[in-house]
Amino acid sequence: MDGFCKEAGFTPNIVFEGEVASTLINLVNAGLGVAFMPSPHKREYSVPLPKLLHISNPECRRTISLSYLEGHYLSKAARQFCQYIIDYFR
């Protein structure tokens, strides 16, 4: 995100970084700042969403990968999960 902010011409004053989307949403809802997060259209959150703004310039993207060792044991649940992810993003 630092690179996207720099490209957009500003340096953010970061006071907290988190991974749990609902925590970030709750902090924004409490008036404690703004948050960068993936588009929520494919997710359901248990908390009300604040005002959402789509960033179109600079283009913000990230790559998420699924990794596993071929030929090694995977439980049925792990195989189903892998197939679900592959089908979902196809």
Q: What is the pLDDT of residues 10-44, one digit of tens each?
A: 898 888 888 888 888 889 999 998 888 776 554 56
Mapped onto helix, strand or coil, the DSSP state of residue 63 is: coil
Percentage of the chain modeled with pLDDT above 90: 19
What average pLDDT does the structure give for the chain? Answer: 84
Q: Is the pTM of this model over 0.75?
A: no
Say if CB 2 and CB 25 are below 8 A apart: no
Q: Rounded CA gap, 37 and 54, in Å?
A: 10
Task: With CA atoms as reference, report the closest residue to 50 among 61, 36, 63, 60.
Answer: 36
**Can you give the pLDDT at residue 18?**
87
The span from the CA of 41 to the CA of 47, in Å, is: 14
Cβ 65 vs Cβ 55: under 8 Å: no
The arithmetic mean of pLDDT across residues 51-66, rounded, is: 79
